[in-house]
Structure 1
Amino acid sequence: MGRVQVSNKEEFPEMENSDFSDTQLIRHFRGVLVAVTTGDRENYDELVGYLHPSKKKLNPDEVALLVTTLKALSGTVAYIDPVHHESLLFAVSRISMWNFGTDVMDALLELIISLAASNGKYIDWCLEMLVKHFVPPFYLADSLKQENGIDKKNKVLSRVHSALKEIADLVPLAPLRLSPIVVQKMPSLFSNESEIVMYVENMLRLACGAIGEIVGSTMLPAVVDRMLELDVEIGWDGILLEDVKGIFEMELEEITEFADEDENFDMPPSELLNRKNLQGNVVVEKLDSLMVLTFLHLESCESSGRVALVFDILLTSFQRTVLNAYKSKFTQFVMFYACALDPEGCGVKFATALANMFVCDVNPPITRMSAVGYLASYMSRAKFLSAALVTSLLQSLVDWCHTYCKSHDFDMNPRAHQVFYSGCQAIMYTLCFRMRSLMDVPRLKLQLLNMSMEAIWKHKLCPLKVCLPTVVVEFLRQAKAAQLFMASESFLFNDMLESDLSKAFGGMDRLDMFFPFDPCLLKKSESYIRPHFVRWSNVRTTYDDDENDELSDCGSEVSDDDFVERNARDMIDDDMMVSVEHLDFNPDLNKMSITPKKSLKYGVETPLDRCVRMPARIRPSTSPESL
């Protein structure tokens, strides 16, 4: 620091014409601080005044005085008392690095670090000071959009995170104190987008930084919880539901007006309109931005070999909050993307965890139903899951449902068997997407044919009459084309049609279930999900004839990299066959996006053809208890 000259005589008379060395200045400030304890506040109040500049824009001399005062205080931290020097600490807390250059930034951080290391009672105060700098004061937010804004942001935040690391080195317990402070200071749902996005950037930076091993288990779940809060704030009013008439008859020319230049035109008309309806919704835009930040964080973890560790944290968070949040629409795609980055590790672990939650009798019914709904949607939509894994999981679901049937040999009561019906619906929903690819592989076809499905569908519990009709009809249509059932086909089809259609699709007893990995409607987030996601419009069904297959091979129906275009045999390896005989399972279902193409195989449209036109999105149940 050298010798310091002070020339502002009017504002700082105590130090006018003074020429102090570092040691002399520190000694002088110590005396001032000690004098306060005896009632002498004259010099102390003047010292506090140095930290309370009278104007926002300081001249070079005033900046130099502020830097000198902060540096001198760093040498007197042992004499600072929270009771006698409260006004001094308050004055320091009002200084924002965002308002100054690097000299003031460094001097302020030196004082904060010295205080944190001097006495444990200042730890929380110092950490809060640093966390406060995660975002700029509101009146400076617009300035960050200017040319030098990014440079200012980098200078401030790099120093903040370095200071947090230094305090953690000096005070090993500091990171444990930091986590609750960061979560508590997190901007609310109603904060503007730039504020909450910048804050979350810093949270994720902490999670993957030097102290990430300690604070990481708190940061990512807190981010997910905030996204979930935003998610449930988004109403279904702007999203097209199954009872919207005529929407599927729109011509392509009418659809394109809603699409951006880079839009993916294989989206169903309803999805394009749904996305259009969500545009301009500030809550949607906040959620979309936070999800992209989280996706980038996961990519960083995958690059550094930490994705498995982070996934375990995510899975715990998912089970605690997202799983049973029946109004969640998009947050769950964080799990989907993490699995896509590591299919053989995280991808399999997620499916296995969902299966275990379903079969575990200790779990509440709603948890089990939620888990099997997630499992069915995940197996149907995840392009990266092997056919072997899907078949093994289906086998476990069928075995569980078959065992349930054998122990409940009496007439159906939908409300008493919700978990069972959820499992049945999960089987059918998955096969709507996967049946063709599984039947094309001899080994898997044999395994599928040997499953005890027919006994389940013909049981007195009558799952075909209770499960969601759009799922049941599509499943039976594909099962008939694939000759999945060796006997009593007519019973399965005719009985279902006569009873279900006459009862208005099951009435109040139907399972209006939730399939959480329906297409993501968030524009920025969807671009990350798209390469790993299976759309119904690209699924090759068992009733597609050779002419349709040829169209698909030409690219008019299915993109070249879609999972249904890949030879299913390429997805099978003897070593990849997964045995999940002893898994426990979990269900919950509520929405779906399947709109099967009109079959050319059957020629004339039948009642069955008419009822299998599945809407782009089925209305989610607003209350699982309605089941």
Structure 2
Amino acid sequence: MGVEVATNYAKMEEDISFTDSQLVYSFRLALKSVSSGDTESYSKLVDVMNPSGRLAPDEAALLLTSTKALSGAVADIDDLHHEKLLKAIFNLSLWNFGPDVIDALLELIVLLAASNGKHVDSCLDMLVSNFTPPNKVLDMLKQPRGLDKKERVLPRVHAALKNISELVPMAASRLSSIVLEQMPWKSKRNVDQWSMKRQLIYVENMFKLESGAIREFVGANMLKDVMIVLRDLDVAIGWDDILHDDSSKGVFMIELEDENYADGDEYADEDGKLPSTLSETSLSKNLTAELLDSLMVQTFEHLESSVSNKRLSEVFDTLLSSFKDTVLNTYKSKFTQFVMFYACALDPEHCGTEFASELIDMFVGGHNPLTRMSAVAYLASFLARGKFLPPAFVASYLGRLVDWCWQYCVMHDGDMNPKLHQVFYSGCQAMMYILCFRMRLMVEIPLLKSQLFCMPIDKIFKHKLDPLKVCLPSIVEEFLKQAKAARLFTSSKTFVFEDLLVSNLSRDFGGLERLDMFFPFDPCLLKNADRSFIRPNYVYWKYVRTTYHEDIDDDDEEDGSDGEVEGVTEFDDDMEEVIISRSYGDNDLEMDEFDYAMNKMSITPRNNSSAGLRMPSRIRPSMSPESL
């Protein structure tokens, strides 16, 4: 009876013979009749709530009327007798209807959740499932019609989630797990164009929850879940997709040679083909990498909006916690960590300081050796590559690192043993890596130069633990070249330097005792994320002014980047503070100079190819984890 009444009601335009209350009453009778075995009216109601295809105007009107009547009779709906009706309601896609029907359906969903605790999860499931549209709508989301549908549906869905959270306190705690369970990437490991589009709009909704009205309850979980998605996609990108093993190259040489490859010079063979090591580095045809790139861009844009809303500090605290739990010790994380890098670039004073402090504290005071080694690798890479970090900032954390290494030397008077002293050697390697990038700028600033020369760096490298023989040869050699040019060591130690450099003792040592690693903030190969967000804040090795290069390019001379600040030729007390606060970045780069950046990566290849090519985010031995 209820459906017949609803049909007549919907068709009436002027002479309406049924009131709303009468209509609700008839629907209540139809629902109650099921328990007595009379299912005719109920079955018709289920059919109305389970439309297929595009609705004609009279069908849409019937659905609207029936939905409103069901809202009035919601107390009579139970999961035992009305399972088919509930299933029909929860399977509806809001993207198929106009605003009036959407509003009526969402009102019904909110009332169902509030009326019976057993319906809460199903109501939340239904709303979250509407984060993503059907394929026919998904394909036109960038068109005006698709954008109109999107603006029609999603704000209403989030308003309904807010209403349910206010009416049912436990709903907010359940929402986070439901969002994670329905995530497209969790259910489909093979990325295609459809899954990419679904994942992007789904994460967009997660960020709406993070910054929306119920962020107090779900915001932190949304950020953590996004970081998990980024990490899982990151790890899914095969290392073979990026770079093939070439153990003859070092950290700095490969990044420089990448530039030459891009210019097509003598590195190409006689047929003009580039060596496979770098010709296969492009991720442009890798759909997983393309999805990760797009999601990273979304994440960076969300960070920027957090700055506008003065919420970056709050967001960063969650990101830092998530980073420690999901990224820090992830063996093959290559790009996800740049979320932290960009957050720090947006607010170096707070985020940059908090990040660096957390890393140095984990290294100095931690207990897990792998975590400590990973933390110091991140610290070194961050301090070396962050264009936004002032020299004084870098010097401060370098000082803490040097102090710890020296205290370790004082407490351990034994001979070199990489297996026993792996954390110490990772600290020494990090120290040298930082100085390879930053030594020139530090020695140009009198106060920082004084601090640097007072550090017991030479004592550390003369100690019996002999880190120069264990750390990565390319880093050792670059560090020693710069240290000699800067006169960081006294004349009595020059012989030690030259002996090491001439004999290549550190390179020859090799084998199980070498400490090979990838630095976490080596150049980002995700094209859009790098070009628009990372690159302006990033120090490339080719633009680092080393202590042994006295000749400056013409472009550098023109922009005053030869150690002078706007014509100042001597450092006086008034200018010292200005210079100390100056970060890397005198040589701003044109965007089109880096079209080849997808093929550019500063890496540390391994010597042993039989163990499989891997890209850890922590310092590790060259042969296997057991070798240290």
Both structures adopt the same fold (TM-score exceeding 0.5): yes
- Cα deviations by residue, 1:546-604 (Å, 9 ceiling, x for unpaired): x326552236999999xxx9x99999649999xxxxxxxxxxxxxxxxxxxxxxxxxxx
Question: Which of 431, 435, 454 is 1:450 aligned to?
Answer: 454
The 1:505–1:288 alpha-carbon spacing in structure 2 relative to 1, beyond 3 Å, is farther
Equivalent residue for 1:231? 234
1:511 aligned counterpart, secondary structure? coil
CA displacement 1:174-228 (0-9 Å, x = unmatched): 2112111111111124352101000000000110011112111100110011110
Alpha-carbon distance in 1 for matches of 2:457, 2:561? 31
In the TM superposition, what are the counterparts of 1:602-617 in structure 2 within 5 Å? 616-617=602-603
Gaps of 5+ in 2: 269-273, 582-599, 607-613
Q: Distance in 2 between matches of 1:569 and 1:301?
A: 38
**Displacement, 1:446?**
0.7
Q: Is the 8 A contact 2:445 2:579 kept in 1?
A: no
Count of paired positions? 564
The answer (yes or no) to whether the contact 1:242–1:618 under 8 Å persists in 2 is: no
Tell me whether 536-545 or 198-207 shows the greater mean CA deviation. Answer: 536-545
Give, in angstroms, the shift of residue 51 of structure 1.
1.3
Report the structure, 1 or 2, having the larger helix content: 2
Aligned-partner Cα distance in 1 for 2:572–2:395? 12
1:443–1:300 distance in 2 versus 1, CA, 3 Å = same
Q: Tell me the distance in 2 between the aligned counterparts of 1:568 and 1:125.
A: 70
- The offset of 1:498, in angstroms, is 5.5
Residue of structure 2 equivalent to 1:537: 542
CA, structure 1 residues 397+174, in 2 after alignment: closer, same or farther (shift >3 Å)?
Answer: same
Q: Is the 8 A contact 1:227 1:290 kept in 2?
A: yes
SS across alignment from 1:148: helix
* Aligned pair partner of 2:131 in 131, 134, 139: 134
Report the equivalent of 1:120.
Answer: 117
Alpha-carbon distance in 2 for matches of 1:223, 1:173: 23
**Equivalent position SS for 1:331:** coil
Deviations 1:290-319 (Å, cap 9, x if unpaired)?
A: 000000111111111110111010000000
CA gap of 1:50–1:572, structure 2 versus 1, over 3 A, is farther
Alpha-carbon distance in 2 for matches of 1:495, 1:7: 99
**Residue identity in the other structure for 1:46:** K
- How far off is 1:492 after superposition? 2.7
Q: CA deviation at 1:5?
A: 6.6
Is 1:304 the equivalent of 2:290?
no
Q: Which amino acid aligns with 2:369?
A: P
501-510 or 471-480: bigger deviation: 501-510
1:394 maps to which of 393, 398, 402: 398
Which residue of structure 2 lines up, in the alignment, with residue 261 of structure 1? none
Structure 1 residues 515 and 308: alpha-carbon distance in aligned structure 2, compared to 1, 3 A threshold: same
Instruction: State the partner residue of 1:165.
Output: 162
The residue identity in structure 2 corresponding to 1:417 is H
TM-score (norm 1): 0.83
CA distance in 2, matches of 1:28, 1:568: 90
Q: What corresponds to 2:444 in structure 1?
A: 440
Q: 2:477 aligns with which of 460, 470, 473?
A: 473
Q: 2:418 pairs with 414, 419, 443, which one? A: 414
Alpha-carbon separation, structure 2, partners of 1:573 and 1:34: 81
- SS for the counterpart of 2:332 is coil
Aligned partner (choices 238, 254, 259) of residue 264 of structure 2: 254
Listed as ranges, the matches of 1:469-618 within 5 Å are 469-497=473-501, 500-501=504-505, 504=508, 506-527=510-531, 528-545=533-550, 547-548=551-552, 552-554=556-558, 573=577, 616-618=602-604
**Distance (whole Å) between structure 2 residues aligned to residue 485 and residue 244 of structure 1:** 29
* Structure 2 CA distance for partners of 1:18 and 1:50, relative to 1, 3 Å: farther
Q: Cα distance, 1:19 vs. partner?
A: 4.5
RMSD of aligned residue pairs (Cα, Å): 3.3
Q: Give the aligned residue type for 2:157.
A: V
Give the aligned residue type for 2:264: E
> Could you tell me how far apart the structure 2 residues matched to 1:570 and 1:304 are?
36
- Which letter does structure 1 place at the counterpart of 2:354? K
The residue that corresponds to 1:290 in the other structure is: 295
Q: Is the 8 A contact 2:519 2:603 kept in 1?
A: no
Q: 1:571–1:418: structure 2 CA closer, same or farther, 3 Å change rule?
A: farther
Matched, 1:178 2:182: no
Counterpart Cα distance in 1 of 2:204 and 2:417: 50
In structure 1, C-alpha distance between the alignment counterparts of 2:562 and 2:196, rounded to whole Å? 37
CA contact (8 A) 2:429 2:475 kept: yes
CA deviation vs aligned residue, 1:528-558 (integer Å, no higher than 9, x gap): 011111111111111111x326552236999
TM-score by length of 2: 0.83
Change (3 A) 1:190 1:450: same
CA-CA distance at 1:238 after TM superposition: 3.0
Aligned mate of 1:345, from 345, 350, 353? 350
In the alignment, structure 1 residue 97 sits paired with structure 2 residue 94: yes
Deviation for aligned residue 1:170: 1.9
Determine the structure 2 residue equivalent to 1:197. 200
Aligned 8 A contact 2:360 2:397 in 1: yes
Q: 2 CA distance for matches of 1:90 and 1:172? A: 24
CA contact (8 A) 1:465 1:500 kept: no
The corresponding residue for 2:85 is 88
- Are the structure 2 counterparts of residues 36 and 504 from structure 1 closer, same or farther at C-alpha, using a change threshold of 3 Å? same
- Tell whether the 8 Å contact from 1:438 to 1:444 is kept in structure 2 after alignment: yes
* 2:590 corresponding residue in structure 1: none
- Residue 164 of structure 1: how far off its partner (Å): 1.0
Using a 3 Å threshold, how does the CA distance of structure 1 residues 559 and 118 change in structure 2: closer, same or farther?
A: farther
SS in 1 for 2:539: coil
For 2:106, the equivalent position in structure 1 comes to: 109
Structure 2 distance, partners of 1:135, 1:513, is 41
Residues 1:575 and 1:493: Cα distance change in structure 2 (over 3 Å): closer
Amino acid of the structure 1 residue aligned with 2:440: R
CA 143–117 in structure 1, closer or farther in 2 if over 3 Å, else same: same
Once the two structures are TM-superposed, the CA of residue 514 in structure 1 deviates from its matched residue by: 2.3
Cα distance between partner residues in 2 of 1:203 and 1:514 = 32
Quickly say closer, same or farther: Cα 1:502–1:367, change in 2 above 3 A.
closer
Measured in 2, the distance between the counterparts of 1:238 and 1:229 equals 16
